[in-house]
Amino acid sequence: MEQEHKSVEKMWRKYLKSIGGSTYNTNKNYTSWHFCDNEKSANDLAKLVRGKVKRGTCSLYYFYGVENEELPMEDNHSIITTWNGIAQCVIKTKKVTVLPFKDVNEKFAEIEGEGDKSLEYWRKVHIDFFTRELKEVKREFSQDMLVVFEEFEVVYK
């Protein structure tokens, strides 16, 4: 398991203090992660989140089962990091929607806040990313595949 950068725990403690808690008297917990599969995109997307332009993200439902991972849930907290694991901000999940890729609409594309925020741009970059991701497990992308769309808000930066 990868060692978490010290900035992540430090940011979490500062966040808890900002809401009147401490690391010892709260039942809140968090995950930390970066976006995408390359350094430039991961860092660019973290900046969009910090700037409150990117207010959502999307992943393939398929991988939650394969990796035996729980789906995101409302009120979950995450620390968004750079590619190198340096904490950028704390987000809180507001809403989770599971739907077929082909049913993602302009509203979702705008919430993700990437590129020109159009559905056309959104579809292109996500098909590219999901195709690369699925290739590693010898599967092919289909527009009927379920995606997990997570809407969030920045609660600390």
Class for the domain spanning 6-156? alpha beta
Helix (H) or strand (E) holding 10: helix 6-18
DSSP 124: H
Find out whether 37 and 133 touch, Cβ atoms under 8 Å. Answer: yes
Distance of CA 5 to the CA centre of its chain: 18
In the prediction, which pLDDT does 29 show? 85
CB atoms within 10 A of CB 58: 20
Domain layout of the chain by residue ranges: 6-156
Residue 149: name the closest of 118, 116, 122, 120 by CA: 122
| pLDDT (tens place) for every residue of the chain, 157 residues total | 456 899 999 999 999 999 886 555 555 689 999 999 899 999 999 999 999 999 999 999 999 998 999 999 999 999 999 999 999 999 999 999 999 999 999 999 999 999 999 999 999 999 999 999 999 999 999 999 999 999 999 999 9
Helix (H) or strand (E) holding 33: strand 30-33
Which H, E and C letters describe 48-112, residue by residue?
HHHCCCCCEEEEEHHHHHHCCCCCCCCCCEEEEECCCCCEEEEEEEEEEEEEEHHHCCHHHHHHH
Q: What whole-number distance in Å separates Cα of residue 44 and Cα of residue 88?
A: 11
In the prediction, which pLDDT does 1 show? 44
CB atoms within 10 A of CB 122: 23
pTM of the entire structure? 0.89
CB atoms within 10 A of CB 119: 14
